[in-house]
A and B are shown apart, each in its own frame.
Chain A
Amino acid sequence: MSQYLLLLLSTALVNNVVLVKFLGLCPFMGISKKVDTAISMGLATTFVMTMASASCWMLEHWLLAPLGIEYLRILVYILVIAAVVQFTEMVVRKTNPSLYQVLGIYLPLITTNCAVLGIPLLTTQEHLPFVAGLLYGFGSAVGFSLVLALFAGLRERLALAQVPSVFVGAPVGFITASLLALAFMGFAGLVSH
């Protein structure tokens, strides 16, 4: 049990997908202007990333490995992720129209989030068993959502701050992101052996 907890902590904070592995930077910079949208995007990504981890694990162990066609991994993963995103969109649209309104255009955008592809690839690389792989995906997604929400909050404050005119907008956003990444490096000492 503590092993799973450690895995969650490690993926969400210590090896944060955005600030330590530098995956999924596009939505990190793109959809972090407002906290509300950032949280919705985080929720949608969490769901898709967990689903993608699970389905990619199954494909890897039940299709790719037995047939010896591991070189098709990236292709198959992308196919499955796109299908999962499409399916998620349909289900959300049917079951929860208000959530669909909130997530809106963000759901299809997740297909192009490299973190969603990167996490299943990393899971495969580390030869994790199913539950651990699922938690790895979920933890990474939680880390992504956390960082996205934090950064959106920072940027909402930045919008009101007096910034030197050269740095207004994206530059100060990048600087803030780098400071946030520095702060997250502090989590590296969180778990001592």
Chain B
Amino acid sequence: MLIAVFSLTTLGLVLGLLLGYASRRLAVEGNALVEEIQAILPGSQCGQCGFPGCAGAAQALADGNAPITLCPPGGREVVSALSAKLGIEVNLADVAETMPMTAEVREELCIGCTRCYKVCPTDAIMGAAKHIHAVFREACTACGKCVEACPTEALALHPAPITLQSWYWHKPEERMAA
């Protein structure tokens, strides 16, 4: 019994020390910034940013190929940490809204110019020239490209309306401890 405990503990310790030493000795001098950014990101490898995992996203951020608002699950916290790390100013008020959004067309302003239609990456906008456009809510990912493209500011992002398909029971409200 004691021998078993002792030998297994020793084995674990020896292997741990060996691995620790090896990790120091064989450390790869990669880009330190990439590792720091990766430490900020959630590390859940969800891929919602379009990169293969948080390591890829960190690499793209360090290269300046991705906006610091790329991480949907990270929310405001990650964006503010990234903006502090990379020195990129970002309006946190835009990030704060974490509820699902969709683009919506204000029909009285739409002139049917099809500019939003052309920039939409998910083909979520239907319409034709000189016809009022409309947004397919199911296809819209709220990327905001149409909002920038619209010359009459007819497009804006709004919280997605709650339908029978998207409604869910709310979590119990957290009570503040006294």
Q: Tell whether B28 is near chain A: CB-to-CB under 8 Å.
A: yes
Q: Tell whether A172 is near chain B: CB-to-CB under 8 Å.
A: no
Please, which residues of chain B bring their CB within 8 A of the CB of A6? Answer: none
The interface size bin for chain A is 10 to 19
Residue-wise interface mask of B (15-38) relative to A, using a CB-CB cutoff of 8 A (1 in contact, 0 not): 100110011001010000000000
Contact B7 A87, beta carbon cutoff 8 Å: no
CA distance A80 to B16 in the complex (A): 10
Q: Tell whether A161 is near chain B: CB-to-CB under 8 Å.
A: no
Q: Tell whether A168 is near chain B: CB-to-CB under 8 Å.
A: no
Please, which residues of chain B bring their CB within 8 A of the CB of A91? Answer: 22, 26
Contact A63 B23, beta carbon cutoff 8 Å: no
Contact B7 A79, beta carbon cutoff 8 Å: no
Interface residue from B7, B8, B18 paired with A83 (Cβ < 8 Å): B18
Q: Tell whether B66 is near chain A: CB-to-CB under 8 Å.
A: no
Interfacial residues of chain A within 78-109, with CB under 8 A of chain B in the complex? 79-80, 83, 86-87, 90-91, 93-94, 97
Please, which residues of chain B bring their CB within 8 A of the CB of A79? Answer: 8, 11-12, 15
Q: A72-B8, A75-B8 are in contact. Are A83 and B19 (CB under 8 A)?
A: yes
Residue-wise interface mask of B (58-77) relative to A, using a CB-CB cutoff of 8 A (1 in contact, 0 not): 00000000000000000000
The interface size bin for chain B is 10 to 19
Please, which residues of chain B bring their CB within 8 A of the CB of A71? Answer: 4
Secondary structure dominating the interface of A: helix
Chain A proximity of B55: nearest CB distance (Å): 10
Contact B15 A80, beta carbon cutoff 8 Å: yes
Chain A proximity of B13: nearest CB distance (Å): 11
Contact B8 A94, beta carbon cutoff 8 Å: no
CA distance A91 to B25 in the complex (A): 10
Contact B19 A86, beta carbon cutoff 8 Å: yes
Q: Tell whether A67 is near chain B: CB-to-CB under 8 Å.
A: yes
Q: Tell whether A170 is near chain B: CB-to-CB under 8 Å.
A: no
Q: A63-B11, A79-B11, A93-B26 are in contact. Are A87 and B4 (CB under 8 A)?
A: no
Q: Tell whether A191 is near chain B: CB-to-CB under 8 Å.
A: no
Please, which residues of chain B bring their CB within 8 A of the CB of A59? Answer: 11
Chain B proximity of A57: nearest CB distance (Å): 15
Contact A87 B19, beta carbon cutoff 8 Å: yes
Please, which residues of chain A bring their CB within 8 A of the CB of B18? Answer: 83, 87
Chain A proximity of B115: nearest CB distance (Å): 40
Chain B proximity of A67: nearest CB distance (Å): 5
Interface residue from A68, A69, A76, A90 paired with B23 (Cβ < 8 Å): A90
Q: Tell whether B3 is near chain A: CB-to-CB under 8 Å.
A: yes
Contact A69 B28, beta carbon cutoff 8 Å: no
With a 10 A CB-CB cut-off, give which of B3, B23, B26 has the most chain A CB atoms: B26
Question: Top 5 closest A-B pairs, CB basis?
Answer: A94-B26, A83-B15, A90-B26, A69-B4, A67-B3
